[in-house]
Amino acid sequence: MIERVRQFAPLNQLDGAWIRNIAHAGPIDRVTANVFNVWMDEMGDGNPDQNHANVYTQLLEKVGVLIDPIYTQAYANNADMLDSAYTVPMYELAISQFTPTFFPEILGMTLQLEWEVLALKPTIKLFQHYGLDPHFYELHVGIDNAAQGHGAKAREAVEWYLDQALARGGDAEVQQLWKRIWNGYAAFATTGNLGQDLRDLLKQRATSPPTPRDKIAALMQRKKQYGSLNHGERRLGANLINDLFEDPDAFMQALIDSNYIVPGSIADSSFFQAVSFNGPMYKVFDDDELRLWEEWVEWLGGKTQPQKPETDPAKLMAMCIDSLRSRQAGTPGHATNQLSGPDPAQSAQTITQPVAAWFQAPTRVFMSVLSDPANGWIVKGSSANSRFMTELLGTDNPMSRAFGGSGGPAAGDKTWKQIAADWIDHGCPLPPAPPRAPALFTRMPEQAGRRMLGRLTLTSPESHVRVHPRGRVLGMGAVH
């Protein structure tokens, strides 16, 4: 809890920053008046003892966290602070510079912060449990209440603002402005990584030395400044590689899903080809960093159960397509070369579309289209006479290099090129059609719905984190 107090200092020592320019000299309407009333309370209505930033500074001192004054360079460069502790405060300061331009978004931000304050109740209980002063949080639960406090004022401001829009431009303007208000609400709730970074930091401190996964995540963070600018339009799955640097966990999983990393097998992991002398990432990592990658691959192998190698040519080819699917996004050739086959939406009709589009179809459909003699790439039963093998995989090009990778032990350590040749020589069999999905429940039980769809917070129990579809905290993880 003390570490949380430290990491939330930049946010709470700037409490109210998002509305600091809400009003200036001259006439104002009741929308601005309501938000300005919130700003006055944040500032303590002229009483230093009631100023929210001062109250939080006193809390820092009470728990023994001594940091430099907020107006100093040393405050910004504090080595004990996570970088993400500054993200939302910077966002507040930046958007408040353009208050008239982003007025609807700032209304939404105000509503989010003031309306969701009841989420601080577990924090108050934790502070009481550990004998820490919960006054700062109790103050906000009280002053931000939805009956007459800031929550009510924020809601009224939104309602009045939309009433003005209705009178001015009708429902079309209402919908346009409501979308912007909601964008502000959602942005304030989800911007930055402090919530997850703080959970990760505390989990790391509470356990044994960092795992190889932790070391790779840290390495990705160190490389993010440059790596997030150097991959152009290349993707892993649906995501740009540049963007994946924002989420190391997702990045690592994408590397595994695309077979760049094969758990337990350095030799089969094509990532190491990319960082070799002939690869595009040569010298991106030094020797110690390359050893970290090797340790991670070996560590992953110890966490996965050995399995019997697949021998069915159809299933192996499906495995090949599924593994390479994420890599094909952004590949120029797949955007220009076309294949014809049954329209996935209307099977009675034929459609011609780029290979990249067929990759989005079910694997069985894609295999059927790829092996269709009408497309001219494959001669069933003869890989030696198939242009797919002789032209696409028979020369040195990005596609043949991708097919030079291996499916690892699950594929009997065969390369994707060997698997493709075997599949063609066996007559291009198709894997079994997937079973029809059962009908979904029309209504999810309320408790399960909250657990699956709600946002995770700093105080979410580990049992909820484990079953949550995302498993990560978005944004700060708390309103204060």
Q: Are strands 239-240 and 235-236 parallel, antiparallel or unpaired?
A: antiparallel
The residues, ordered by sequence, that sit 6+ positions from 116 with a Cβ below 8 Å of its Cβ are 189, 479
Helix axes 30-42, 103-115, angle to 10 degrees: 50
Gap between the Cα atoms of 467 and 23, Å rounded: 45
Residue 442: what pLDDT? 36
Gap between the Cα atoms of 93 and 186, Å rounded: 17
Gap between the Cα atoms of 138 and 124, Å rounded: 7
Residue 273 burial by Cβ neighbours in a 10 Å radius (0-12, 13-18, 19+): middle
Q: What is the largest CA-CA distance in the chain?
A: 86
The residues, ordered by sequence, that sit 6+ positions from 107 with a Cβ below 8 Å of its Cβ are 31, 35, 154, 157, 158, 161, 181, 184
Residue 364: what pLDDT? 86
* Entry field: residues in the chain: 480
Q: Model-level pTM? A: 0.51
Per residue, the 3-state secondary structure of the chain, as one string, reads CHHHHHHCHHHHCCCCHHHCCCCCCCCCCHHHHHHHHHHHHHCCCCCHHHCHHHHHHHHHHHCCCCCCCCCCHHHHCCCCCCHHHHHHHHHHHHHHCCCCCCHHHHHHHHHHHHHHHHHHHHHHHHHHHCCCCCHHHHHHHHHCCCCCCHHHHHHHHHHHHHHHHHHHHHHHHHHHHHHHHHHHHHHHHHCCCHHHHHHHHHHHHHCCCCCHHHHHHHHHHHHHHHHCCCCCCCEECCEEHHHHCCCHHHHHHHHHHCCCCECCECCCCCHHHHCCCCCCCCCCCCHHHHHHHHHHHHHHHHHCCCCCCCCCHHHHHHHHHHHHHHHHCCCHHHHHCEEEEECCCCCCCEEEEEHHHHCCCCHHHHHHHHCCHHHCCCCCCCHHHCHHHHHHCCCCCHHHHHHCCECHHHHCCCEHHHHHHHHHHCCCCCCCCCCCCCCCCCCCCHHHHHHHHCCCCCCCCHHHHHHCCCCCCCCCCCCC
- Stretches where the chain sits below pLDDT 70 are 144, 207-208, 303-307, 326-330, 344-347, 434-453, 463, 467
Domain ranges for the chain, please list them: 2-192, 206-303, 313-425
Residue 380: what pLDDT? 92
Distance between first and last Cα of the chain: 13
Residue 69 burial by Cβ neighbours in a 10 Å radius (0-12, 13-18, 19+): exposed
Q: Are 109 and 188 in contact (CB under 8 A)?
A: yes
What does residue 239 show for φ and ψ, rounded to 5 degrees?
Answer: -105, 140
Q: HSE (CB half, 13 Å, CA atoms) of 289? A: 16
392-404 burial code (b ≥16 CB/10 A, e <16)? bbeeeeebbbbbe
Gap between the Cα atoms of 173 and 167, Å rounded: 9
Residue 424: what pLDDT? 92
Q: Are strands 350-354 and 338-342 parallel, antiparallel or unpaired?
A: antiparallel
Residue 178: what pLDDT? 96
